[in-house]
Structure 1
Amino acid sequence: MKVIICGAGQVGSNIARQLAQEKNDVTIIDMSPELARKIGDELDVRSMVGHASHPAVLEEAGADDADMLIAVTYSDEVNMVACQVAHSIFNIPKKIARIRAQDYIRPQWAQLFARENMPIDAIISPEMEVARAIERRLKVPGAFDTVSFADGKVQVIGVRLDENCPIIHTPLEQLTELFPGLNVTVLAIYRDGRMRVPEREDQMFPGDDVYFAADANHVERVMPLFGHEEEEARSIVIIGGGNIGLHLAQLIEKKMRNVSVKLIDSNRARAERITDDLERTVVLHGSALDPDLLQEANAARAETIVALTNDDQVNILASLLAKGQGTRKAITLINNPVFGNLVTSLGVDVVVDPRATTVSEILRHIRRGRIRGLHSFRDGAAEVVEGVALETSPLVGKPLRDLKLPPGIIIGAVIHDGEVILPRGDSVIEPNDRVIILGLQDVIQKMESMFSVGLEFF
């Protein structure tokens, strides 16, 4: 596949890295000579300096025979015009754009991106995606990551194990016998900086980050078996009233009706403006690094603080100050990945990486075949995909024990006629079943081919 990526920032460079590792033909364009040179030196991609929406630049990048254009520059307008030029002049089949300004994507302007106007096949709104990701985490206390699949019927959850976990040091093959109600599939274990798909005889240890798939209706019963019995927050303090903070507060008001929310923003005009957009949320103006203001927000009695400003250092310090006052849990937005590995040792419970959330959403639109959902973990170390099994799929018609899946691929759940089935050896996937499957980085293309038409896999 031949792909042009406009923008070599964190999102663009990570998409380029993933696609290059999968042997795609990637060209990346950026206005910054330094960024273009850096990514060209690090990755097996072609890098160019130029204005990504200029026809001459896109022509030089190979737009005449490109399969896809992904526009993720920092300018919404450049992204939109790049897609328009890609369509009108070069007839590139698929165009994806990151759009930050919410005014462009309001429902009443939906026709703006219709094929006859400004044809963009997929629009990614990072702020809305991040707010949704945080709201999902709030509903599963104790998880550092949670993703919904199959219209919310299945959840893939990441948890860190400690000495209190009752299933540590137990071979996975014995879990069903010891805990008959444990209706989950352990998909992957992250240990010592390495992601792996476990074998039946493998054990889990304290300090492991474990990813599992579960029927969404059983999550509350499953979490204690992984050592997590935290209660859902009833009082939340949000730091930062930007688009992410505002969207999150609105989601909580809509979906978590019994939760009390206070929001702190340092910009008085912004604080006053968003008050009109919220119904139950109490909006406070001031610095989140002011202990007196945190006391006024009643941080000491809040179960969770969510720090969402544009400043990583403010987010980290505000989280630690609130926890020092008594807040039980801190969810902290970190833009610089260097900080992400450090802050958990300081007391931050959950790190939110907006780049990773955006990359996952873009990858969902890139993957071929009948892909319905996708999430990337640990900078692409593994992907979980929800796909529709076609009659031609090698997954269909055989007991799972006879499939002989390649190492690094595991089936987490099957949805048949709306019912969630946690796979066992004698389970059989039928045509049009929806399948939740995890694959490690080096077998992602093989996993993708399982949901494609007419491709030989085995």
Structure 2
Amino acid sequence: MNIVVIGMGEVGRHLLSVLDKEGHDIIAVDSSAKAVQYAEEHYDVASIVGYGASETLLKIAGVGRSDLVVAVTNHDEMNLIAALASKQLGAKHVVARVQGTAWSEWTDGIRYGLLGVDVVINPRVLVAQELSRIARSYGASDVVDLAQDRVELVQIDLDESRVLNKPLSSLELPPHTLVSAVVRDGELFVPGGADVLVKGDRVYLIGRPEGVLAAERLFSKEREARRVCIVGGGVVGKALARELLQQQATVLMIESDLEVAEEISAEFQGIEVVHGDGTDGALLEEQEVGTYDLFAAVTKQDEINLMAALLAQRSGCKRTATIVQRADYASIYRQLGIDIVLSPRTVASDQILRFSRGGGLHSLTVLEDGQAEVVELTASPKCRAVNKPLHRMNLPRGSLLAAIVHGDDVIIPHGKDVVHPGDRVILMTTKESRATVERLFRPRGE
């Protein structure tokens, strides 16, 4: 594919690293000569220094011949203008990111066709929605909705659990649920029936939402978060509060800006808003954050989020969550004991990368820094995988057909189940098996 990426911030650089490995022809654009130089030195890309929304620059970049243009600068208006102008100049698909307070009222993190732009993504709203799903789970540290909320993927870190030291084949999992992947000592693998779970493993469960929720009771002692404390009244904080109120949770919000705190207090009925510093240990003790089920630090500053979460943890809060702007720091946060670490960069990248894989792909979720992917796609009538039972599909080692959506039915497949043309399928694949799986589901001749 010919791809133009406008904006060399955290998201832009991450996209370059993935797209470069996949062999796409990429042009990187940024107004900063230093940012462009970094891109040239680290990736096999062409580059242009300049204003990304300039019609002249976009023509030089060849957006009219591009399969995909992605605008992810730190300026929302520039992203929208660049995407719209690229579309008018002939780009096949355009994607823009927005994340400022002007977009905080969104109830959906993705808009299609907004202002003539194919896809507009608000990663901060998407992160808030993910946190709300985690809050209503039983101990999950990540929750991803798939197939229009008919399939759920959850991540659980095993501590004390009834499932330890038993072969997976002996576990009495609820119907329509399976263990799709296990991470042990940092390495992800797709398990078989003889594999045994041990303390410290990270497990990915997938299945129908009601089955997954029942399975969580086996894997974790945690329960739904009914009392949640939020630090930060920005886009993420407000979107999260809105979601939690719909779940009828008790919400306390701590905001350092008096004017913002007053605005939130007036806007939201049913939550307690406290003006103060989320890293003030005395304030956290005064508000009894140790009695809350979940503490979520979601300001724009990573240092504040980390410090606030550590203080809440010390106060006895059951679970702590933070957002982190630099996703490569997430593992350090977990080592420090933070239960849930989410990155708007990762969320945005997952949404954008699916457009680089061609037609038919509905969603893409990257797991464990690229060790595996969960892809959701429509099975083409011309692909090799249709009209044959699973046991004859010859899926490679390290891959798993996790779910088939056939009309209104969601099937967690076994050996005799068949993928029909037009079915939506959800696949787990490691990076080693991805190419083979793609060939199975790619239409013949492409």
Q: How does 1:1-16 map to 2 (within 5 A)?
A: 1-16=1-16
* Alignment correspondent of 2:162: 166
Q: How does 1:291-330 map to 2 (within 5 A)?
A: 291-330=281-320
* Alignment correspondent of 1:431: 421
Q: How does 1:2-401 map to 2 (within 5 A)?
A: 2-88=2-88, 90-101=89-100, 103=102, 118-162=115-159, 164-172=160-168, 174-175=169-170, 178-179=171-172, 181=174, 183-226=176-219, 228-254=220-246, 256-257=247-248, 259-401=249-391
Quote the offset at 1:447 in angstroms: 4.0
Structure 2 residue identity aligned to 1:390: S
Q: Which runs of 5+ in 2 are unaligned?
A: none
3-state DSSP class of the match of 1:222? helix
Quote the offset at 1:199 in angstroms: 4.1
CA distance in 2, matches of 1:171, 1:415: 28
CA distance in 2, matches of 1:455, 1:344: 45
Quote the offset at 1:362 in angstroms: 1.5
Cα deviation digits, residues 151-210 of structure 1 (max 9, x gap): 222111111123x333334444x23xx426464222222233333333444333322222
Q: 1:53 to 1:442 in 2, by over 3 A?
A: farther
CA distance in 1, matches of 2:294, 2:97: 30
Determine if contact 1:122/1:365 at 8 Å carries over to the other structure: no
Quote the offset at 1:243 in angstroms: 0.6
Quote the offset at 1:222 in angstroms: 0.7
Q: 1:113 to 1:300 in 2, by over 3 A?
A: closer
Q: 1:383 to 1:427 in 2, by over 3 A?
A: same
Quote the offset at 1:134 in angstroms: 0.8
Is 121-130 or 283-292 further displaced after alignment?
Answer: 283-292
Q: 1:114 to 1:303 in 2, by over 3 A?
A: closer
Cα deviation digits, residues 308-341 of structure 1 (max 9, x gap): 0111111111111112222111011112334322
Q: 1:205 to 1:37 in 2, by over 3 A?
A: farther
CA distance in 2, matches of 1:114, 1:358: 17
Determine if contact 1:307/1:332 at 8 Å carries over to the other structure: yes
CA distance in 1, matches of 2:227, 2:2: 48
Quote the offset at 1:42 in angstroms: 1.9
Determine if contact 1:367/1:448 at 8 Å carries over to the other structure: no
Cα deviation digits, residues 339-391 of structure 1 (max 9, x gap): 32222232211111111111112223443232223222223332212222232
Cα deviation digits, residues 195-236 of structure 1 (max 9, x gap): 33334443333222221212211123211332x021111111
Structure 2 residue identity aligned to 1:160: D
Structure 1 residue identity aligned to 2:85: V
Q: 1:83 to 1:338 in 2, by over 3 A?
A: closer
3-state DSSP class of the match of 2:206? strand
Work out the percentage of aligned pairs sharing the same amino acid.
31
What value does the CA root-mean-square deviation take over the aligned residues?
2.4
Q: 1:201 to 1:210 in 2, by over 3 A?
A: same
Q: 1:223 to 1:62 in 2, by over 3 A?
A: same
Determine if contact 2:205/2:212 at 8 Å carries over to the other structure: no
CA distance in 1, matches of 2:77, 2:18: 26
Structure 2 residue identity aligned to 1:186: V
Name the TM-score, length of structure 2 as normaliser. 0.92
CA distance in 1, matches of 2:379, 2:353: 19
Q: 1:55 to 1:105 in 2, by over 3 A?
A: farther
Q: 1:82 to 1:370 in 2, by over 3 A?
A: same
Q: Which runs of 5+ in 1 are unaligned?
A: none
